[in-house]
Amino acid sequence: MNITVKLFASLREQVGKGEVKLNAEKPMTIAQIWAQVSEEMPLPTHILMALNMQYVEANALAEAGDEVAFFPPVTGG
């Protein structure tokens, strides 16, 4: 099964992809997922990460069937 990874805004531009499907043979941390989809780019500071629509830290574990999202902080006015 796959982990669906979604990238938004400037992160999509950095990585060059808006969505990636990763083959998940075992649980992976969010940081490991970022490294794989970004081809080893450092994890940006202040990035927001979500696992199944819940904010998480980089050490959270994702499993097959999960959805992971990365997006920059949002500002408003």
> Which pLDDT tens digit goes with each residue over 9-50?
989 988 899 999 999 889 999 999 999 999 988 988 889 999
Instruction: Name the residue among 33, 39, 31, 32 with its Cα closest to residue 14.
Output: 39
Q: Which CATH number goes with the domain that contains 57? A: 3.10.20.30
pLDDT score recorded for residue 77? 60
pLDDT at res. 15? 87
Per-residue confidence at 76, pLDDT binned at 50, 70, 90? low
In a domain, 22, yes or no: yes
Which stretches of 16-75 are DSSP H helices? 30-37
Position 60 scores a pLDDT of 98
- Cα separation of 14 and 27, whole Å? 25
User: What is the structure's pLDDT at 75?
Assistant: 66
- How many domains does the chain divide into? 1
User: Is 56 domain-assigned?
Assistant: yes
Q: Both tokens of residue 46? A: 């202040």
